[in-house]
Structure 1
C-alpha cells in the first residue's frame, strides 16, 4: 500500500499546477469541500518545519473529496487560500468529522507570520475549550474584509488518516451539529435498548453465555464505538491521549475476547462440538495475546497487529459457525447472521483505514451500522434460543404427562385439575396485573396534569409566579456559566384597575388572556420564559438576548398591544401596556435579584413617564456591562 500511495502522489505531482485557486467567501457560498480546492504535501518522514514547508515543499492539488492515506507515520499538509471580496469580515468553520487524528494544527497567516491553533487527540484540552462544543475537530476562521489569507493545515495520526475537511458557515455548522446529535442519540438509544435486554436476560436466566454477551456489548458497542466517535472526550472531558488512542484498540480486543467466550458457550461447543471447542481455545489465546500486545507495543505497531489478529479471530468464529450451521444447528445459523453483520462492518471500516476502500458516507459509518445491526440480530438470536428451549421443555413435559396418563388415570385427573387451577390463577394474576398497570398509567397521567396545573396560570395558560421563582435562577446560572446575555422584560397593563372597575372583572380577565396570547405570539424561542408575575403584571426572561434585541422585542410587543382592539360586551376596548427592560451578562458580582429589580424600576419609570412606552434600565448594573455590549456589537 505504501508503494501505491507514493506512485499516486507522484502522478499527482506531475499533473499539479503551481498553486490552488483562491476559495471565494461570499454569503451565497454554502458548505465547501476543502480537500479538492486545496494543495496537499505529504512529509513522509515528518521532519520538515513550517518554514521549510512554506518555502521549499512542492504541493499538489487535492482533487479527491476525502484525504485518505491509510496507516502512515507521515505528516500531511494542506495549503489553501481564502479570499473575501466583501467589505465586511467573513466567518467560517473548518470541520473534520474524524476523531482518530492525533494532531491537527492550523497555521493562519497574520502580518506575514503564521500563528498556530492546535486540536486533535493530543490537544484535547485546547479542543474542549472551544466555545462551540463538538465531538470532532474544528477551527473558527475569520477572513478580514477585502483580504486574501493563506492557511496551512497539518494532520498526523497513528491510526490512519481518512478524513474530509469542510468549510461552512456558522448556521450550517449548527444544523450539522443538530443532525449529528440526532444520529448519535438514535444509535445510543438502540444500543442501550439491546444492553438493557441483555442485562434483563442475564438477571432472569443467570446463564454464563449471557454474561459474556453483556460484556461484549459493553466493551464493543458502548465503549469502543462511543470512543471511536469521540463522545467520552467531548462529553466527559476525557483528555488522556493513551485512553483515546490505545484505549480504543484495547476495548476492541476485550470485545473480541468476550465474543470468543460468548460464542463457544452459546453454541455449547464443550458438550456438542468438542473439536470446535479446541479451536475456540486457540482463538481465545490469540485474542488475549492481541489484548496484551496492544498495551506493550508502540501504538502504530500494536494497532496494526491487533487489526490482523482480530480479523483472524473473527474469521475463525465465522468458520466454526458455518460448520455448525451446515450441520443444521439453528442457533449457529442465527449467530452466523448476527456475527457476519458486525464483522463485515468492522472489516469495511478497517479496509478504509488501510486505504483499500474509498472513504464515503457508508465506509465512514460501516462499523456503527454493522454494530447496530449486529446488536439487534443478537437480541433476536438470544430470544429465539430462549423460546426454542422453552418449547422443548414444554414438549418434554407433555410427553411425561402422556406417559403418566397411561399409568395412572387418577393422577392424570388430579394433574389436570391442578393445571386448570394454575391456569386460572395465572389468568387472574394477569388480569390483576393489567388492572394495576392501567391504574398506574392513569395515576401517572393525572400526576402530569397536576404538575402542569401547578406551574401554569389557570387563566392565561402561561407559566405562573411559582414556576418563575424556580426557572429564573437556573437561566441566570446558565447564562453566567456560558457567558451569555440575559434580559428581563416586565410588562404591566395600563389602567387595569379602571378596566376592572368600569367594565367588570370578566372583561379584565379577557384583557389578561389577550395580553398572554400576544406574548406567546412574539416570544416563542424554547429557552425564553413567559410568566404571569402577579395581577396585571407579566415577566419575560430572554436567554442569550442583549439589551438592544430585548428593546426591539419590547417595542414590538407594545405596538402589538396598542393595535389590539378587544371586543367586549360594553363595546371595543383598546389596550396599552408599560414595559421595563434590564439586561446584562451575569458575573459573580451580580445576582439574579438585581436584574429583576432593575427591570421593575424601569417598568415604574415607564408608568411615571406617561405609560404606553418602553424603558430600558440605566442603572449601574447596565453600566457595568457597557464594555461587553460594545464587544458583542
Structure 2
C-alpha cells in the first residue's frame, strides 16, 4: 500500500472515529440503565453494602406550577414518574424538579452514613425530611446559597441523616438549575465516602499536577524562546485549569464561599475563555495568518469574535442561552481544530500530525461531555470526567506537537545554516576573486593615474614636475658616485611663427612629432625626455660626459632636421636648437646651476643662428 493511500485511509478513519466512539458510548450507557421498580430502600444492610445508589428508586415530578412542599406531598401518585432508567441527568430544564424517596430502617444502618448528591452545580437544592407526614428537618443548599449553610464541609452535598435517629423517613428534594439538571444520589457509609473522596482527590491531584507541570515546563520554554505560541498555550492551560477547578466545586469551597452570584457567571466566563485561548493557540501554532489559507483565517477570526462576544455576554445575558451557545460553538471550535490540524498535515507540517490527533481525542471527550450535559447519556466515571481526561490527553499531545515543531524548526535551521555556509563559502570564493580582480583593476587604474600625473597630456613624454623629481634624484646619485651628469635643453626654432602661420593644431602636431623623434634617439633605460614648457624639451642623460651629450644632441637635431610635415599639401620642415651642459657634482644641491648652464647654452645656440648644438662644462 502506498504512503499516499495509507494517509487517505487513515484520515477517513480518524474523521469517523468520533462518531463511532460516541455511538458506542451511548449504546454502552443504555445497556447499563436497566429498569427497576420503586420501593422503600432498606438501609439495615448498609454497613455490609457500604453504598446504595438511589437513582433507580426515586420518583420525580417536573414542577411547571411553582409547587411548595405541601402541594407536592398531596400530589397524586400518577403525577410522579418512576425513574426506571436510573437516570441521574435530566438534561437542561427551565423548570424545577421534585424528587421523592423513602428510606427504611434508618436507625439500623449499623454505621454512620451520608445522603450524597454528587453534583456541585445545582443552583438551588432544597431537601425536606418527613416522618409520618410531618416535616422533621430541611436543608437549603445549592451554589446560590452561602457555602456555610452546608451541614458537611465538602464541595458536594452531604447530609448526615443517621443523626435523626428515626426508623423510616421520606425525602422530598427540590432541585433547580440553569445548567444541567443532575441528581446523582446515593447513601454511603462514612468509611466508603472518605475512601471514594480520597481516590477522587488523588485523581484531581494527578490531573492538576499534570496540568501544572505542563504549565511551568512550557512557561520556562516561553521565557527562553519568547515564542508567542507558548504564551497562547500557557493561556489555554491556565483557562482549562481554572474551568476544571470551578466545575469540581472547589472554587466555591475555597475561593468565594460567600459570593453566591459569582459561580454561574464564572462558569460561563471560563467556558467562553477556554475555547478563545484554544483558538488563539491554534491560530499561532499553525501560523495561519502568514501561511494559512484565507478560509482558515476567516474561520479562526470568526471563532475568536464569537467567543469574545460570549465572554462579555456572560456578565448580563441569560445563563441558559449563553451556556447553550458556548457549548455549541465549543464543539464546532474543537472540530475546527481537528480540521485545521489535518489541513496543516496535508500542507506538509510534520507537527500537525500530533496536533490533529490531540484535537481528535479532545473532540471525542467533548462530545461525551455534551451528551452527558444534555442528558442523552447518563453519568459514569468517563462522562463525569470527560473534560478532564480529554483536556489532559490533548494538552500532553499538544506539548508533544511542540516538541515535533521544535525539532522541525531545528532541522530547518540546520538546513538553512548549511545552505548559508555553502552560500557564504561560494560568496567568499567569488569575493576573493572579485577582490583580486578589483585590486588588479585598481592597481592598473592607479598606475594609469600616476602615469597621467607624470606625463604631458599632448606629447606623452614626462612632464616638468616629474622631470624635476628625477633630475634631483639623479643629481644626488651622481654626487655620491662622482659620475658625469648631462642635461640637454631643446627648443623648436620659430615655433611661434609656425603657430601663427599654420594654426595651433599644426603646432601640436609638430610638438608630438619632435617628442617621438627625440624619444626614439634615447637608447638607455636611465635616459629620459620631458616637456619642459611650451616648445621646450629637456633630456636627462645620467653617467654621460660632455662628448656623449653632444653626440646624443646631434642625433636628435639631425633627426628633427630631416622631418617634413604636410599641411594641406604644403611641406613644412622643422629645426631645433640645443644647449648641452655636463658636470660631476661636487655638492648635493647644485642641480639648479646645471639646469641654468644648459639653458644658457641653448640661448647661445639660438644666438648662433639656430639649428645647432652648444655645449658647456661646469
TM-score, structure 1 length as denominator?
0.58
Per-residue CA deviations over 1:286-316 (Å, capped at 9, x if unaligned) read 2222222232211122211221222233333
> Cα gap change, 1:232/1:53 in structure 2, threshold over 3 Å: closer, same or farther?
same
SS at match of 2:56: helix
1:144–1:303 CA distance, 2 compared to 1 (3 A): closer
1:119 to 138, 141, 158: 141
- Paired residue secondary structure (1:295): coil
The aligned residue for residue 279 of structure 2 is 260
Give runs of aligned pairs for residues 58-77 of structure 1, distance below 5 A: 58-77=79-98
The offset of 1:158, in angstroms, is: 1.0
Instruction: Please say if residues 95 and 139 of structure 1, whose CA atoms lie closer than 8 Å, have aligned partners that are also in contact.
Output: yes
Q: For residues 239 and 381 of structure 1, what CA distance do their matches in structure 2 show?
A: 42
Q: What is the distance in 1 between the residues matched to 2:409 and 2:74?
A: 73
Kept in 2, the 8 Å contact 1:89–1:142? The answer is: no
Match of 2:344 among 324, 349, 352: 324
Whole-angstrom CA distance in 2 between matches of 1:356 and 1:37:
20
Match of 1:229 among 240, 248, 260: 248
Residue 98 of structure 2 aligns to a residue in which SS?
strand
CA distance in 1, matches of 2:382, 2:214: 23
Find the aligned partners of 1:16 and 1:263 in 2 and give their Cα distance: 48
Matches within 5 A, 1:172-321: 172-220=192-240, 222-275=241-294, 276-321=296-341
Q: Spell out, residue by residue over 1:250-273, the C-alpha distance to the aligned partner (whole angstroms, 9 max, x if none).
A: 112112211222111111112212
Kept after mapping to 1: 8 A contact 2:108/2:167: no
Q: Name the CA distance, whole Å, in 1 between partners of 2:416 and 2:163.
A: 78
Q: Which structure 2 segments of 5+ residues have no match?
A: 1-34, 432-618
Specify which of 56, 60, 69 is matched with residue 50 of structure 1.
69
RMSD: 2.7
Q: Distance in 2 between matches of 1:88 and 1:179?
A: 24
Unaligned runs of 5+ in 1: 1-14, 412-633
Structure 1 residues 185 and 69, CA gap change in structure 2 (3 angstroms): same
| 2:116 equivalent among 95, 100, 105 | 95
- Give the distance between the partners of 1:65 and 1:219, measured in 2 at CA: 34
Matched length = 393
Residues 399, 162 of structure 1: alpha-carbon distance in 2 compared, 3 angstrom cutoff:
same
1:342/1:370 contact within 8 Å kept? yes
Match of 1:150 in 2: 170
Contact 1:84 1:144 in 2 (8 A): no
Equivalences for residues 174-573 of structure 1 within 5 A: 174-220=194-240, 222-275=241-294, 276-405=296-425
Q: Name the counterpart of 1:137.
A: 157
Counterpart Cα distance in 2 of 1:362 and 1:161: 18
Q: CA deviation at 1:85?
A: 7.2
Give the direction of change, closer, same or farther, for the CA distance of 1:161–1:140 in structure 2 (3 Å limit).
same
Whichever of the two has the greater Rg, that structure is 2
Are 1:71 and 1:158, in contact at CA under 8 Å, matched by a contact in 2? Answer: yes
Structure 1 residue 395, shift from structure 2 partner: 2.2
Indicate the residue corresponding to 1:41 in structure 2.
61
Aligned to 1:284, what secondary structure does the other structure show? helix
Instruction: Confirm or deny that 1:168 pairs with 2:188.
Output: yes
Check conservation: 1:20, 1:39, Cα contact below 8 A.
no
Shift in CA distance, 89/149, structure 1 to aligned 2, threshold 3 Å: farther
Contact 1:321 1:335 in 2 (8 A): yes
Normalised TM-score (structure 2): 0.59
Instruction: State whether residues 346 and 367 of structure 1, in contact with CA within 8 Å, keep that contact through their aligned partners in structure 2.
Output: yes
Q: 1:87 to 1:190 in 2, by over 3 A?
A: closer
